[in-house]
Amino acid sequence: MHRGRFLTIFLILIALSLLFDVYAFNGLRTIASGWKSVWLRRFLLYGYLGVSVGLVLLLVFGIGSFSTPQGMQPFHEWVLSLFLALLFTKLFFVLVLFLWDSGRFFYAVGNWKFR
């Protein structure tokens, strides 16, 4: 029962992480759209995707070896720690983006209604 609960929480965290990735990627693409350097823009966007998706893949493929008789291996502790740190960073970024998008939405509705 304990393993099933862990797996459920784990899958929810991965799903949230991937949803945050989509929203954060679109926000980064909007932020970087005005940059003159195409190389820097691509480096930011594909670097973000590479790190984020790569970390999720490491976590998914390593989930079976998390519970060994000796406990978690240091590599798995690092991957899990990096995943959680990136997840909370994405959460903060997504909240800021959501507040910004909400403000733009209400500004547009106000302009539309009072014309």
Q: pLDDT means per 10 residues in the chain (115 residues)?
A: 71 89 91 90 93 87 67 76 89 92 87 74
Left if phi > 0, otherwise alpha if psi is -120 to 50, otherwise beta: which for 52? alpha
Output the CA torsion 34→39→43→49 (10° steps): 70
pTM of the entire structure? 0.76
**DSSP states of 19-84:** HHHHHHHHHHHHHHTT-S-HHHHHHHHHHHHHHHHHHHHHHHHTGGGSS-TT---HHHHHHHHHHH
63 in Cβ contact with 94 (< 8 Å): no
pLDDT of res. 10: 80
- 106 CA to centre of own chain: 26
